[in-house]
Structure 1
Amino acid sequence: MSYADKVFINMCQDILQNGYSSEGQDVRPQWDDGTPAHTIKKFGVVNRYDLSKEFPIMTLRPTNLKAAIDEILWIWQKKSNNINDLNSKIWNSWADESGSIGKSYGYQLGVKHKYPEGEMDQVDRVLFDLKNNPYSRRIMTNIYVHQDLNEMNLYPCAYSMTFNVTGNTLNGILNQRSQDILVANNWNVVQYSVLLHMVARASGLEAGELVHVIADAHIYDRHIPIIEELISRETYEAPELKINQDIKDFYKFKVEDFTLINYKAGAQVKKIPVAV
C-alpha cells in the first residue's frame, strides 16, 4: 500500500464515521438537476507527506500526473487565469466567453509587488528568498485577496503555500479552505508535491515534507457510495517519480520532464457527479 492510499483511506473513514452532515441546512452547491449538494465533513484535517521517502500518488485509482502538472504549471509558472492556456477542460465551468476565470489563481501569483529589493510577483519572491535568505520564516504566497474576490469567478480553494527550509531540505505547508475529497484530494497532493520538487530543484535544495491543511474536508452525499467502494479496493506500492535532471530553472520545467516508474493503480472511477 502506498502511503498516499493509507492517508486517503484513514481520512475518508474518519469523515464517514465521525463527520458532520449538512442535511437540513441551506447550502450553496447544487447538482446539475438542481438538487442541493449536501456533504459530510471534518474540520481541520492535516495530512503530512514526506517526499524524501515516497511520491504521494494514490494507487486505489489512477491520478492523471500529466494533467495535474499541466494545471499547476498553468497557475504557478504561466501565472494564467485563462483556460485557453490549459490543456484540459476542468476549469471550463468557471470561465467566461473569453476563457478568463477572473482575477483568480494564476492572476494573483503574477501581480507584481514592491519590495526593498525591487518589484517581484509572489513566485519570484519565493525563488528570490530561497536563493538569498533561505532560512527566512516569511517565505509564502497568498492568492485569497479580498479586494479582488468580487472579480473572481471562483474563490481560490488551495490559497496559500508556506515554504520553510531545514538544513538542506525544503518543506511546504499547503492551506486549503475547502476540498471535495473524492474529486480533488490526491490531485492537489500530487500537484503541490510536484511544485515542492520544482521549487526545491530551482533553489538547490532537496524536497522534504508537504503538510496539507484542509479547513473543510468534505464528501458529497452522491459520492459516499463511490468512496466506500474506492477505499475497499486492493492497493499497490507507490511508484517512483523521475524528474529531468537537466532542468534547474523553475520556468523551464515542462509536463514531460516528470514521469512515474512502475505506477500500478486500480480502475479509474468514471462519471463522478460534480457539484457546482
Structure 2
Amino acid sequence: MSKADELFVSMCRTILDHGTTTEGEVVRPRWDDGAPAYAIKAFGITNRYDLRREFPALTLRPTALKSAMDEVLWIYSRKSNNINDLNSHIWDQWADESGSIGKAYGYQIAQRSCYAEGEFDQMDRVLYDLEHTPFSRRIITNMYTFSDLHEMNLYPCAYSVTYNVTQEAGDERLTLNMVLMQRSQDVLAANNWNVVQYALLLMMVARHAGMVAGELLHVIVDAHIYDRHVPLVRELIERPQHPAPRVSLNPEVRNFYDFTTDDLIVEDYVAGPQIKGIPVAV
C-alpha cells in the first residue's frame, strides 16, 4: 500500500489522540460564518518520502497532481505572485483586485541577490550551485522575509527548501534530496497537496541537475486539524488504501524552466472518492 497513506493516517491519529486543542483560545482563522476556527494541533511532525521507492500521492482520496504541479511552477518557475498566472482558483480569496497576493511566494523567489559570481534570484542560484558546487551545504530558498510580511496577503506556510546531495555506493549519478520546512499546515486541506508539490519540484530540479530524485523530508512545526474537519478526517483515515501511482516526467525535458503540466505522466492512480466542499478557514 501507499507509504504516503500510512504516514498520513499515523499523523492524523497522533494529532487526534494526543494533540493540543486551541478551543477557547485567541485564534486568527475564521470560518465563513465568522466563527473562530479552532483546531487540534501537534508540534514537530516529520515525515520522510523516498521518491526512489514510490511517488507519495495519497490514495485515500485523490490529489489533483497537475494542479499541484501548476502551483509549484507558478512559484518557482514563473516566479509569480498574481493569480492570473495560475490555472486554479485556490489563491483567489487572498488576491486583490489586480490578482496580486502581495510580496509573497513567487515574488520572493524572484528577488535577486549579489554573489561573488554575480546576481541571481533564489531559484537560479539553486540551479547554479547544483551544477557548480553540488555538495554545498548552502543550497536554500526562503520565502519568509520579515521586512515584506506586512505586504503579503498571507504569510508563507511552506517557506523554506534546503537541497542536499548524496551518492549511493555503486551509483554513478548523484542523489538530490530536499528538506521542506513548513511553519503551519491545515492537514486535511493541504497536507498531501504540499507533499506532491515538493516531490514534483524535487523531481524537476533533479532532472535539470542530472541527478536522481531521492528523499523528501517534510517538517511541519504546527500540524493541525480544524474542528469542522475532525469528522471528515476520522472517516478518511478508515478508508481502504491502495498502491501508490506511478508518476514520472516527460523524458525529453531537461531544463527546469521548460517543464509544464503537460510533462507530468501519471499511471495507475487508484484512489477513494473525493471529499467535496471542505470548509476552508481563512
TM-score by length of 1: 0.99
| AA aligned opposite 1:133 | T
Q: What is the CA distance between 1:260 and its match in structure 2? A: 1.1
Counting only pairs closer than 5 Å after superposition, residues 77-88 of structure 1 correspond to structure 2 as 77-88=77-88
Structure 2 CA distance, aligned partners of 1:232 and 1:45? 21
In 1: Cα distance, 2:281 partner to 2:137 partner:
38
Q: 1:110 is matched by which residue type in structure 2?
A: A
Structure 1 residue aligned with 2:252, among 243, 246, 254?
246
Q: Secondary structure at the match of 1:61?
A: coil
- Pair 1:183 & 2:155 matched: no
Q: Does 1:105 align with 2:105?
A: yes
Partner of 1:22: 22
Counterpart position of 2:139? 139
In structure 2, distance between residues paired with 1:209 and 1:69: 18
Output the TM-score relative to the length of structure 2.
0.97
**What corresponds to 2:277 in structure 1?**
271
Distance 1:242 1:72 in 2: 16
Once the two structures are TM-superposed, the CA of residue 242 in structure 1 deviates from its matched residue by 2.1
2:266 alignment partner, SS class = strand
Picking from 156, 173, 180, the partner of 2:179 is: 173
| CA distance in structure 2 between the aligned counterparts of 1:141 and 1:88, rounded to whole angstroms | 24
- Once residues 71 and 266 of structure 2 are traced to their aligned partners in structure 1, the CA distance between those partners, rounded to angstroms, is 17
Alignment partner of 2:265 out of 259, 265, 271: 259
- Tell me the CA shift for residue 274 of structure 1: 0.4
| Separation of aligned partners in 2, 1:27 and 1:4 | 30
**CA offset digits 1:191-214 (Å, max 9, x no partner):** 000000000000010000000000
Q: Which runs of 5+ in 1 are unaligned?
A: none
Runs of 5+ unmatched residues, structure 2: 168-173
Aligned to 2:67: 67
Letter in 2 for 1:94: W
Aligned equivalents of 1:177 and 1:214: distance in 2?
6
| Percentage of matched positions with identical amino acids | 62
Q: Which residue of 1 aligns with 2:198?
A: 192
| Secondary structure class of the residue paired with 2:102 | coil
What is residue 130 of structure 2 aligned with on the other side?
Answer: 130
- RMSD value over aligned CA atoms? 0.5
Cα deviation per residue 1:80-121 (whole Å; 9 max; x = unaligned)? 000000001100000000000000000000011111000000
Q: Distance in 1 between matches of 2:220 and 2:256?
A: 27
SS in structure 2 at match of 1:222: helix
Matches within 5 A, 1:109-120: 109-120=109-120
Q: Tell me the CA shift for residue 50 of structure 1.
A: 0.3
Q: Distance in 1 between matches of 2:274 and 2:212?
A: 32
Distance 2:138 2:90 in 1: 32
The match for 1:228 is: 234
The number of equivalent residue pairs is 276
2-side partners of 1:254 and 1:89: how far apart? 18
CA distance in 2 between counterparts of 1:163 and 1:80 reads 22
Q: What corresponds to 1:159 in structure 2? A: 159
The one-letter code of the counterpart of 2:188 is L
Q: Secondary structure at the match of 2:254?
A: coil
Tell me, what secondary structure is at the counterpart of 1:267? coil
Please identify runs of 4+ aligned residues in structure 1 that moved more than 6 A: none
Distance of 1:25 and 1:70 partners within structure 2:
36
In the aligned structure 2, how far is the partner of 1:240 from the partner of 1:15?
29
AA at the equivalent of 2:99: G
> Matched residues in 1 for 2:43 and 2:62: separation?
27
Shift in Å, 1:220: 0.0
* Cα distance between partner residues in 2 of 1:245 and 1:8: 30
